Amino acid sequence: MTHLTGHCLCGEISFEADGDVPVMANCHCTACRHSTGSAYATLMFMKQDDVKITGTPKTFSHGSDAGTTMTKHFCATCGTPLFTQNSAREGMLGIRAGNIKEHQEFAPKVNVYVSSKLDATVLEDGLPAFEKMPG
């Protein structure tokens, strides 16, 4: 079982999570790059019920290239991206790894959407890479 805590830049929204982390990934899709302002998103997925959020994030939903609905959760005050949800993975919540205090807990297992990665992004040797999201 993994214990994670974290908060947004201004501290208005915080979270505590206890549970299994079945997916740790770097996502290089265009939407993740836009929503984070970075070369890729670093995500730790947990059961939504295992994450206790204090404060109320603002949300923005959009369609994905796979036809699912993606919902981004962020702080309305400081703009920090905090969580993500995919309608195809109901009950799961992606925690933006850059916000966790226990940073040593993040060890990506896969790179996804490398078909849209920035040319300058170097992928770690030996880490599986998929052109899109694997089934």
What are the pLDDT digits (tens) for 16-67? 999 999 989 999 988 889 889 999 999 999 999 999 999 999 999 998 877 8
Q: Which residue has the higher pLDDT, 119 or 135?
A: 119
In one letter, which amino acid is 71? Answer: T
pTM, whole model, 2 decimals? 0.89
pLDDT at 133 over 80: no
Cα 103 to Cα 3: distance, rounded to the nearest angstrom? 11
Q: Where are the domains of the chain?
A: 2-116
Q: What is the CA radius of gyration of the chain?
A: 14
- Give CA separation, 47 vs 4, 92, 120, 126, in Å: 13, 4, 33, 27
Structure tokens at 133: 């999201």
Length of the chain: 135
Return the CATH fold of 2-116.
2.170.150
